[in-house]
Amino acid sequence: MVSLQHSIIAGLFAFFCVAVVVFSQVGNWNTVEFQSSGDSNSGDLINRESYFSKVNYFKFRKGIPFLHLQAFELNISTLTKKTIFLNPKGMVFTNKGVPINYQGQQGIFFKNKEELFLEKEVTVKMKNSTIASDKMVYKFSSDQIISTGGVESSSRSERTGDVIQILSDKAIFWPKSSKSKYLGNVQGEVKRGKVYEENVSFTSDRL
């Protein structure tokens, strides 16, 4: 009789372990899709945290992708609504479908606010512009990029061929309207596309 009870208990425990593994693999991500080439495991079931390695992460809005991410490691918490990742590289799409490429050493996606935060050796590339900084926040709702810390931007005019290089402490970009604002220790240079035109240098606190 004791042996039978032990067998039943052991069987229930094994079933519970299998159920936990299946839950961590399948999960409930609603509008999120994963492709993982590495191992994954579930964390505390109360917090519903899941960890993945070497992943391709896709986020959709009304069936249209607006965030693509490749990362070495990724952690999702349904409790805090945060997705934390290491060595992120990918693409976001503005409300008008304009692609923005990005990469950094680490970052967080805030689901509730729909904001992407990156830090350490951050690079953002748009159609004719490249922005390097220590930190960057992209706000999906307003199509706004906020870069801080050692900001270096370079952009090229399609009309004249001029290259504009600007250094600042902080910069705000609106990709949809092709506008930008630079704040703090602004230094820049306009390199003319035509050899007979003289380059222009400038400094300012705001631009």
> Mind listing the pLDDT tens digit for each residue in 57-112?
787 777 777 888 888 888 888 788 888 889 999 998 887 778 899 999 999 988 88
Q: How far apart are CA 126 and CA 32, in angstroms?
A: 25
pLDDT value of position 121: 93
Nearest alpha carbon to residue 153 among 162, 166, 169, 134? 166
Q: Is the pLDDT of residue 40 over 80?
A: no
Q: What is the pTM of this model?
A: 0.72
How far from 41 is each of 26, 48, 55, 119, CA to CA, in Å?
11, 11, 13, 26
